[in-house]
Amino acid sequence: MRAQILYGIGNLKYVEMEAPSPRPGEALVKVAASGICGSDVSRIYKTGAHNMPLIPGHEFSGVVERCPDKPSLEGKRVGVFPLIPCKSCPQCKEKHYEMCQSYDYLGSRRDGGFAEYVSVPVWNLVELPEEISFEEAAMLEPMSVAVHAMRRFYLDKKDDIVICGLGTIGLFLAMFISDAGYDRLWFVANKDVQMSKLINMGFPENHICDVRYGDPYRFIMDKTGGKGADVYFEAVGRPENYEQAIRCAAPMGKVVLVGNPAADMNLSKDTYWKILRNQIDITGTWNSSYLGDEGTSCTDDWKYVLERLRAWKDGSSENGFSPEDLITHRLSLSEIPTGLDIMKRKSEDYIKIMINAG
């Protein structure tokens, strides 16, 4: 098969290699679509992966080609939960697999989806309903990450909700929060492509603060009658955005930290005072919940996402979002370096860069 292999930091090569053979409990999946994640860019160019050489790619879908343990899966279209939990640590015992202490991970610790074939544990396979496309299925992971963040706090219909940072996760948050019936949604954006995606999704332009022309704090105070955000999703990860999130939160407000940190986070004394005096709740969110066959849409973000995607398609929901609208580039497996380069140098506007099997 052909694959993109990361040999060391910045050293990604497109090579011909032996396709993996599934171990007991695993299936061989022929990859159909694979998304490039922001974390792939830092993994490949900055930090390297935990184990190298490694085939990156953790957002992918495909068809089960071979599954000796469960032949009934062969030929089935699948999405993939990329985290392989140990199932024996305290968090796994509580089924909080996203916080497993010694997990394996497709695309960061073991070979992932930037290849023609990948070996995946059967437990991690998500059978796809007919109406879900491979591209949508390759975005189940970032969609589930957004839903996980959305569900970290109880939201109230009256809440003023701010999403700051409109990359893939921020835009999916907008989709799912709006879909869940919240309309006092405000956005802090800094790119035209993000704003045009939001507007195409049906959000009013005057709900968006473009930080190039306006001050987010003043915008949010203005829109909320001087109260601030009841819930603020910080999906950037820069120190100044962390500080801004707390400044913009309402008394008793909630801040959900979503973005991976770009640097050390420092807080001014005034901002720290604000957390105390205004009794602000700050939480992190990590990955997504997935329970295999045992989950329901209440407990399993992946099931929730699949349920909502189906509702958007069959018209049973008044909202009909189309996740594929976030795809700005479609490339082939051999063109992955081109996609990574666009994201690294920000040389073109992009949201989601999708790799399709040729």
Using CB under 5 A, list all residues that contact Zn ion.
37, 39, 85-86, 89, 92, 100
User: Which CB atom, from 111 or from 160, has the smaller least distance to Zn ion?
Assistant: 111
The least distance separating Zn ion from the CB of residue 153, rounded to whole angstroms, comes to 22
| Residue 143 vs 255, nearer CB to Zn ion | 143
Minimum Å gap between C-beta 95 and Zn ion is 10
Nearer to Zn ion, 100 or 229 (CB): 100
Residue 285 CB, nearest approach to Zn ion (Å):
13
Q: Which residues pair with 62 in a beta bridge?
A: 31, 78
CB nearer Zn ion, residue 38 or residue 239: 38
Cβ 256 to Zn ion, closest distance in Å?
Answer: 17
Compare residues 40 and 179 and give the one whose CB is closer to Zn ion.
Answer: 40
Shortest separation between residue 141's beta carbon and Zn ion, angstroms: 6
Distance in Å, CB of 168 to Zn ion, minimum: 8
Chain centroid offset of residue 222 CA: 30
317: exposed, middle or buried (Cβ count in 10 Å: 0-12, 13-18, 19+): middle
**Closest distance to Zn ion from the beta carbon of 96 (Å):** 9
> In terms of CB distance, is 98 or 159 closer to Zn ion?
98
Residue 47 in tokens: 């930090």
Are 254 and 279 a contacting pair, CB within 8 Å? no
Give the residue with the Cβ less far from Zn ion, 219 or 304: 304
Which CB sits closer to Zn ion, 19 or 99?
99
Distances (CA, A) of 255 to 22, 276, 285: 43, 14, 10
Least spacing, CB of residue 340 vs Zn ion, in Å: 13
Judge contact between 2 and 333, C-beta under 8 A.
Answer: yes
Q: What is the chain's length?
A: 358
Q: How far is the CB of 188 from Zn ion (least distance, A)?
A: 22
Judged by beta carbon, residue 34 or residue 244, the one nearer Zn ion is: 34
> Among residues 339, 263, 283, 300, which one has the least CA distance to residue 83?
300
Q: Is the dihedral of CA 82, 339, 168, 7 positive or negative?
A: positive
Nearest to 343 by CA among 356, 352, 335, 334: 352
